[in-house]
Amino acid sequence: MRVCRVVNGEDARYGLADDSVVTLISDEPFAAWEREEDVSLRTARLLAPVVPSKIVCVGINYRKHAEEMGHALPDEPVIFLKPSTAINSPGGTIQLPQPSMRVDYEGELAVVIGRRARHVRPEEAAHHILGYTCANDVTARDLQRKDGQWTRAKSFDGFSPLGPWVETDLDPSDLGIVTRLNGEVVQSGRTSDMIFDVPTLVSFISGVMTLLPGDVVLTGTPSGIGPMHSGDVVEVEIEGVGSLTNPVAPAL
Ligand code: MG
């Protein structure tokens, strides 16, 4: 299934997308739900597919990205948070914030939690995962370096595009992940190159904090990070999921 969220009149509704239709569902995808009316996928306005209480991100989880950042390989996952207010929709504008002179794309596989997870073992992780979507861990690289910790650099409104939907029937262990800037490939990796795989990450994070239905784990970016400028269009495509496209605009 592809679980999405769409604008429906005054409301946001969860639905199931196929190639042409979104079937609205009666409740959140984590609860018991029933199929309701169909709307056209072509005219539907997609929102980020979930509303997380938190976005837990993993830094330095691909070997080549560790090299390009000049970091040693971590011996356990390095995690940080983005606020839920950073969430951006498929097609939503990434606004370049005034204090930064360098804002980078980071294409990433996002894990969406489906069942509450606390002290989960790696072999139990799949039971707590709803599915997978595309993410862009937008980063103000200059502020990340200047501040010495990452909160400001990672947390501007709109810095967490997510979507287009959550693919629930997918093995995340070896998926192609490609980022394009204005149509040109700038990152190309495979999730099999992760230092810590998805079950390990969910297990590790669940030993720190309770993961709630709808929470999102960004699993780190492959090598090839670089800046975006006003007028650019950035796309993150993941094999078996789809693609997430966002335009970039100057600060208001
Ligand atoms: Mg990242």
CA of 58 to the centre of ligand 1 (A): 6
Same domain, 100 and 23: no
Question: Within this chain, do residues 76 and 170 fall inside the same structural domain, yes or no?
Answer: yes
Domain count, the chain: 2
63 C-alpha to ligand 1 centroid (Å): 13
Q: What are φ and ψ of residue 165, in 5° steps?
A: -155, 170
- Tell me how far the alpha carbon of residue 26 lies from the centroid of ligand 1, in angstroms: 34
**Residues 37, 59: one domain?**
no
Q: Give pTM, 2 decimals.
A: 0.97
Q: Are residues 195 and 75 in the same domain?
A: yes
Residue 173 pLDDT grade (very low, low, confident, very high; cuts 50, 70, 90): very high
Q: What is the pLDDT of residue 127?
A: 97
Q: How far is the CA of 57 from the centre of ligand 1 (A)?
A: 6
161 cis-preceded (ω within 30 degrees of 0): no
Task: Tell me the residue range of the domain where 6 lies.
Answer: 2-47
Q: For residue 65, what pLDDT is reported?
A: 87
Last residue of a domain, one of 14, 31, 47: 47
232 Cα–ligand 1 center, Å: 20
The whole-number average pLDDT for the span 190-208 is: 97
Give 202 Cα–ligand 1 centroid separation in angstroms.
Answer: 16
Residues 63 and 165 in one domain: yes
Are residue 127 and residue 7 in the same domain, yes or no?
no
Q: What pLDDT was estimated at residue 135?
A: 98
CATH number at residue 11: 2.30.30.370
Q: What is the mean pLDDT of the chain?
A: 96
Q: How far is the CA of 129 from the centre of ligand 1 (A)?
A: 20
Residue-wise over 5-35: b if at least 16 C-beta within 10 A, else e?
bbebeeeebbbbbeeeebbbbeeebbeeeee
> Cβ distance 4 to 11 under 8 Å?
no
Does residue 184 carry a pLDDT above 90?
A: yes
What distance in Å separates the CA atoms of residue 243 and residue 237, rounded to the nearest whole number?
Answer: 4
Residues 43 and 81 in one domain: no
- 17-62 confidence digits (pLDDT tens): 999 999 999 999 998 999 999 999 999 999 999 999 999 999 999 9
The C-alpha atoms of residue 217 and residue 235 are separated, in whole angstroms, by 19
- Cα of 196 vs centre of ligand 1, distance in Å, is 14
Is the same domain home to 91 and 62?
Answer: yes
- pLDDT, tens only, 87-133: 999 999 999 999 999 999 999 999 999 999 999 999 999 999 999 99
pLDDT of residue 9: 87
212: domain CATH number is 3.90.850.10
pLDDT-derived band at 201, boundaries 50, 70, 90 = very high
Same-domain status, 85 and 35: no
Task: Specify whether 42 is located in the same domain as 59.
Answer: no
Closest to 235 measured CA to CA, from 57, 51, 91, 77 = 91
pLDDT confidence of 181, banded at 50, 70, 90?
very high
Ligand 1 centre and the CA of 61: distance in Å?
9
pLDDT given at position 211: 98
Question: Percentage of the chain with pLDDT > 70?
Answer: 100
Q: Could you tell me if 43 and 90 lie in one domain?
A: no
Q: Is the pLDDT of residue 66 over 90?
A: no
Same-domain status, 192 and 208? yes
Distance 110 CA to ligand 1 centre (A): 10
Q: Name the DSSP letter for residue 213.
A: T
